[in-house]
Amino acid sequence: MINNKRKRSSSRTKSFSGLLISLLFLLTFILIFFNKTDNYLASSIKNIGIDVVSPITRIISLPITLTKNIKLTFDNFRNLESQNLKLREEIIRLKKWQTLAIKNSRENRVFKRLLNSTSHNVEIIKTASVVNQSPGMYTKLVTINAGFNYNVKKNLAVINEKGLVGKTIYSSKLNSKVLLINDPSSSIPVKTLSDNSYSILKGSFDGKFLISSFTQDNKMPKIGDLLVTSGNAKIFPRDILVAKVIRINQDNFIAIPYVDFNNLNYVQVVKSK
């Protein structure tokens, strides 16, 4: 009887163990299944979130992005404006240097011509600048920045790189007035280079020409003849270029001066050696 009980007990134990193993196997399978299922669900939820949330995120961030881009564009324009201002300032500075360089170059060319134009018959007293030009219709005067302080006095010849300009008629300590040869009251003794015939010239009323007021033996020059100072007067040294004959009339002739009186910048006060 006891043996029968033991057999039944052993049979129950084996049945319980088999059931327990089956349950454990089933649980293990269920866990594995749910683990795989969780990964799939998580991945699906993640994909759905990306597809749904991303457009919403872009829409929400659009104003921020636009604001950022507008600010960046504004900053770029502001930087460009600042750079343009610096460039304009640099261009202005370079133009000033260019103007100064051109002015210095012109001055150097004028001084070189003045030195080359001076003959051996002339002694240079002072090289001066023209500081004022008389606007008078009938009086042709200029003021130069040299006076008694540079031994510039009345009745001295004034020339530039092109020829005879005029003569000094008044001097102060710092400045002098020069009567130009194209003034109607001027009187310049000249001679032709071709045949040394003598004549006297004065300025026209408009200041554009020189007109003969006297010709020796009524001998007229030829058109194209060059006229230079004769040296007969004590004021003007001889052989300084004055004008070129352009027209012959019955009683006089007309010449055009070599000096451009509308563009007088630098002159030399000279006297005969």
Q: What is the pLDDT of residues 51-106, one digit of tens each?
A: 555 566 666 666 767 777 777 777 777 777 778 888 888 788 777 777 666 655 65
Handedness of CA 124, 125, 128, 131 (dihedral sign): negative
Provide the token pair at 39.
Answer: 């990964």
pLDDT at 21: 67
- pLDDT above 60 for 119: no
pLDDT at 85: 81
Higher-pLDDT residue of 21 and 236 is: 236
Three-state secondary structure call for residue 188: strand
Residue among 225, 232, 218, 155 nearest 190 (CA): 232
Higher-pLDDT residue of 22 and 142 is: 142
Provide the token pair at 272.
Answer: 């005969």
- The string of pLDDT tens digits covering residues 247-268 is 999 899 999 999 999 889 999 9
Please state, in angstroms and rounded to a whole number, the distance separating the CA atoms of residues 41 and 36.
9
Bin 266: left if φ > 0, else alpha if -120 < ψ < 50, else beta: beta
Backbone phi and psi for residue 114, each to the nearest 5 degrees, phi listed first: -60, -40
- pLDDT above 80 for 160: yes
Q: From the CB of residue 271, how many other CB atoms can be counted at a distance below 10 Å?
A: 18
Please state, in angstroms and rounded to a whole number, the distance separating the CA atoms of residues 158 and 259.
11
Burial 37-54 (b: 16+ CB within 10 A, else e): eeeeeeeeeeeeeeeeee
Higher-pLDDT residue of 177 and 73 is: 177
**Where do we find the tokens 């929400």?**
60
CB of 207 closer than 8 Å to CB of 186: no
Least confident stretch, 57-66, 173-182, 199-208:
57-66
- The string of pLDDT tens digits covering residues 206-222 is 889 999 999 998 889 99
pLDDT at 126: 93
pLDDT at 137: 63
Alpha helices in the chain (DSSP H): 2-117
Provide the token pair at 155.
Answer: 């009745």
Three-state secondary structure call for residue 116: helix
Residues in the chain: 273
pLDDT at 180: 96
Please state, in angstroms and rounded to a whole number, the distance separating the CA atoms of residues 248 and 224.
10
Computed over every residue of the chain, the mean pLDDT equals 79
